[in-house]
Amino acid sequence: MDLNKYLNNVAPSEPQYSKEEYAAMKKTEREAVWVQVDARMGEVLADASTLQGFLDFMSQCRNSLPNQLLLSGQNADITDARTFQQWKDAGRHIRTGEEGYTAIVGQVYENNGRKASGYNIGKVFDITQTRGRPVPPPAEYQVDELIAASIESSPVPIQISDSLPDGIQAQYVPKNRTIYVRNGMDAGTTLCAIVRECAQADFHKDYTYNRQAYAAPSYCAAYMVAHRYGLDTTAFNFDRVVALYRNLGKEQQRGFLSDVNTVGGGLLRSLSRTLAVQTRELPAAEYAVAVPPAKKPSRQQERG
């Protein structure tokens, strides 16, 4: 039996490129992807509903901003996107026939004998495209638990204040490095107000801090947390945010969305870690010292 007819036609041969041709091809590929990123950024900031949808995506799919823009344009339901090798390292495998999504993939290479990092355009796969052990459903929390975790993970102290101006739910005061919160609000409003001001505190890095400059990113970060944990978000409105950023230059738009991604993602990570600690069951003490049984009083003591 001649196997050549089977083995020789398994796949078409890869085209051969010179070093210069390969570099030019990759450069063109990267440039095309960055054009897609900028175009998607314009779409995201075109109207309030599209921005809100992108914030939903940012809260569920943690990644770099360029990849969030790329991936959300390909499938808004992606939650955890990784390369083939990353999934393999995590003990999961890509299902047969699945096609990946275009993304910017980090790359480590050698340059004159030294390791350097860069990026390439590659494919990633969502967790729904993989097989492996069943994935446990995300934990659900009560609003009271979320409030406790947000206070615990706050970058600055939080205090109740009875002297906040009318209409102010909470306020980060940079001079005191403290967040002041109005008491007596409903739980959902309280949580969103605390998280928004935690974002303001995160933005306070040096003397250049300006509350108004970070008002929109902090508002969006608070929405990300509220959406991620299933709170009522009907009170959020992004018309003013879109009006502010829609007609700005690409660099300013990218800076705004990067701020939202960085601070919103940081708040989500801090909350997640704190919630995990708060809800973790204490293990039984493996080396606990046994408590001796109580001694019975002697008859002599009883008579006395």
Q: Is the pLDDT of residue 10 over 50?
A: no
Determine the average pLDDT of the residues in 215-225: 98
Would you state the pLDDT for residue 24?
86
Residue 89 zone, left/alpha/beta (φ > 0; ψ -120 to 50; rest): alpha
Q: Find tokens 């890509």 and name the residue.
A: 94
Beta carbons within 10 angstroms of residue 283's beta carbon:
6
Question: Cβ distance 79 to 45 under 8 Å?
Answer: no
Q: Which residues contact 116 (CB under 8 A, 6 or more apart)?
A: 108, 109, 110
Q: What is the pLDDT of residues 122-155, one digit of tens each?
A: 999 999 999 999 988 988 999 999 999 999 999 9
Instruction: Identify the pLDDT of residue 87.
Output: 97
pLDDT score of 282 more than 60: no
As a whole number, mean pLDDT of residues 6-32 equals: 72
Tell me how far apart the alpha carbons of residues 136 and 54 are, in angstroms, rounded to a whole number: 25
| Residue 207 CA to its chain's centroid (Å) | 27
Is residue 189 packed enough to be buried (19+ CB in 10 Å), middle (13-18) or exposed (0-12)? middle
Contacts of 115 (CB under 8 A, 6+ apart): 108, 109
Q: Which pLDDT band holds residue 106 (cuts at 50, 70, 90)?
A: confident
Quote the pLDDT of residue 300.
Answer: 57
For residue range 196-218, list pLDDT tens digits in order: 999 999 999 888 899 999 999 99
